Amino acid sequence: MHHSQPGASRRSLLGAALVALLAPTVARAQKFPSKPVRLILPQPPGGAADRLARMLGERLEAHWKQTVVLENKPGGGVAIATQAVARAPADGHVIGLLGSSLSINAVQRTDLPYEVKDLQPLGRVGYYTVGLVAAADFPANDIKGLIALAKSNPPRKFSFGSNGIGTSAQLAGEMLNHMAGIELQHVPYNGAAKMYNEIIGGMLPMGFSVASSAEAFIKSGQLKVLGVTSAKRSPLFPTWPAIAETLPGYEAVNWAGFCGPAGMPREVVQQIGDDLLAVLKAPDMEKTLAGMGIDLAPQGPAEFQAFIQSEMKRFAAVTKPLGTRMN
């Protein structure tokens, strides 16, 4: 009987060693976050993205019972902050609140210090409703009418405004050109106010802009909405048609979502994803985001990752790489 003892004790030692090995991962999964979480933002303090990051940071702080520190890292056309997220330790304690520039830069820029695969998507929050707005007296009232005008004989030549080269607003126009087989000319502006003035003043026929910022002009009857760029109508503005109703598959949204560095443990990715979705399910969240002009459209890690990939595929079909000219 004695000879089985060493074997048994060796087995129990092995068992203990295994438990000891497994314990840290179990503890880690339960204890995330075990220290303050840094939330990196590519935009400067004071703007819409900063307000969104502060509000979500406070909600996550309450959920995690752990400090969330916001770090603004503007510059490089969002590349500086995105690189900081990609190079962070992959334990979940550094995450970034990124936007659609992530997918746009990936297909347009050849000078990025990171690749999209260096990031781990964690969850999408939602997106700003972007509309194609035109002067009240523009001869078309919807996308169908605009396409007909642009294809008329002789074809009518129109320009569209955006808030800059390489933005989701420019992409929205390029995608409209590509899918409708028309040739609207792009005019970049460095501020929505100037663009609205030029549309109302008759210098520019139309432009893509965040709907909430154009709302006052639409209500006063100076501008009208030809269509919104999301796949479906916005719950915030249900009377405005989606461009996709005329051009199925059309989508070019200005989204906000969380990413961490690639290589994070699966259970941490899942936990952050679940925690984000829990925070976004708060009963007042839809209204809070609507106040910022954002449609709540949550996605977990896998769904968000698939969305980013589909965006890159659609964008690559309509754009030529711009190299470093975007800065």
pLDDT tens string 6-31: 444 555 555 555 555 555 554 444 57
**How many C-beta atoms lie closer than 10 Å to residue 58's C-beta?**
13
165 and 308 co-located in one domain:
no
pLDDT band at 326 (very low <50, low <70, confident <90, very high): very low
**Mean pLDDT, residues 77-106:** 94
**73 found inside a domain:** yes
What distance in Å separates the CA atoms of residue 184 and residue 178, rounded to the nearest whole number? 10
- Strand-pair partners of 41: 72
pLDDT tens by residue, 220-239: 999 999 999 999 999 888 99
**Mean pLDDT, residues 262-288:** 97
Q: Is this structure's pTM higher than 0.75? A: yes
Max CA-CA distance within the chain? 101
pLDDT at 300 over 50: yes
pLDDT exceeding 70 applies to what percent of the chain? 88
Cβ neighbours of residue 50 closer than 8 Å, sequence gap 6 or more: 41, 43, 44, 70, 72
**How many C-beta atoms lie closer than 10 Å to residue 28's C-beta?**
15
What is the model's pLDDT at position 325?
40
SS3 262: coil
pLDDT tens by residue, 175-224: 999 999 999 999 999 878 899 999 999 999 999 998 888 889 999 999 99
Average pLDDT, the chain: 88
pLDDT at 152 over 60: yes
CA–chain centroid gap for 301, Å, is 13
pLDDT at 276 over 90: yes
State which of 165, 194, 229 marks the end of a domain: 229
**242 found inside a domain:** no
184 and 48 co-located in one domain:
no
Residue 136, domain CATH: 3.40.190.10
Q: Domains in the chain: how many in total? A: 2
What distance in Å separates the CA atoms of residue 103 and residue 100, rounded to the nearest whole number? 6
217 and 263 co-located in one domain:
no
84 and 157 co-located in one domain:
no
**Considering only CA atoms, which of 100, 137, 60 is closest in space to residue 252?**
100
What distance in Å separates the CA atoms of residue 93 and residue 317, rounded to the nearest whole number? 36
150 and 296 co-located in one domain:
no
pLDDT at 3 over 50: no
For residues 324 and 249, which has the higher predicted lDDT (pLDDT)?
249
pLDDT tens by residue, 243-255: 999 999 999 999 9
212 and 193 co-located in one domain:
yes
What is the model's pLDDT at position 12?
55
Domain span at 94 = 36-127+254-326
**276 found inside a domain:** yes
**Mean pLDDT, residues 112-136:** 95
63 and 112 co-located in one domain:
yes
**Mean pLDDT, residues 66-77:** 93
pLDDT at 67 over 70: yes
For residues 319 and 89, which has the higher predicted lDDT (pLDDT)?
89
Q: Is the dihedral of CA 174, 117, 80, 95 positive or negative?
A: positive
pLDDT at 322 over 60: no
pLDDT exceeding 90 applies to what percent of the chain? 69
Q: Which residue has the tokens 């996308």?
A: 143
Query: Exposed/middle/buried for 35, CB within 10 Å: 0-12, 13-18, 19+?
Result: exposed
What is the model's pLDDT at position 30?
53
191 and 265 co-located in one domain:
no
